[in-house]
């Protein structure tokens, strides 16, 4: 069944590096498509496609301005992501000396074989 549609949730949307770049750029403010494409070194169609995904998951809002379409950040859907990942915070802070030393032991054991 292949991967869940990229368009389904924020986790999938930000799995793509170029889309992360777009979002990062948009923190500076709204931008037209061509602008983004150029700045990120991608073709205009590619930019449009990525923006479409971002729009569909609600990470971005569009606004028509003359012949241009200004895309703006809508980060609200990133909050659940942040919270989910944050649920692991204590695991990368606390108690990884244990894991680390365990991994070290493992490596040593392997070398000694």
| Contact footprint for DNA (CB under 7 A) | 1-3, 5-7, 12, 15-16, 18-19, 32-35, 42-53, 62, 64, 66-70
CB 57 within 8 A of CB 48: no
CB 58 within 8 A of CB 12: no
Question: CA-CA distance, 83 to 11, in Å (whole number)?
Answer: 12
Is residue 36 close enough to count as binding a second copy by CB under 8 A? no
Q: What is the helix (H) or strand (E) element at residue 71, kind and residue range?
A: strand 68-73
Which chain residues interact with a second copy by CB under 8 A? 3-4, 6, 11-12, 14-17, 20, 23-24, 27, 61, 63, 72-76, 78-79, 81-82, 84-89, 91-92, 96, 99, 102-103, 106
């Amino acid at each position: 069944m292949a991967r869940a549609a990229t368009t389904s949730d924020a986790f999938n949307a930000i799995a793509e590096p170029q889309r992360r770049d777009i979002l990062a750029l948009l923190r500076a403010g709204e931008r037209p498509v061509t602008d983004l494409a150029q700045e990120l070194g991608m073709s205009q169609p590619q930019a449009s496609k990525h923006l479409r995904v971002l729009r569909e998951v609600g990470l971005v809002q569009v606004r028509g301005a003359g012949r241009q379409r200004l895309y703006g950040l809508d980060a609200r859907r990133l909050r659940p992501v942040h919270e989910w990942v944050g649920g692991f915070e204590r695991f990368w802070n606390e108690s990884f000396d244990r894991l680390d030393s365990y991994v070290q032991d493992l490596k040593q054991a392997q070398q000694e074989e």
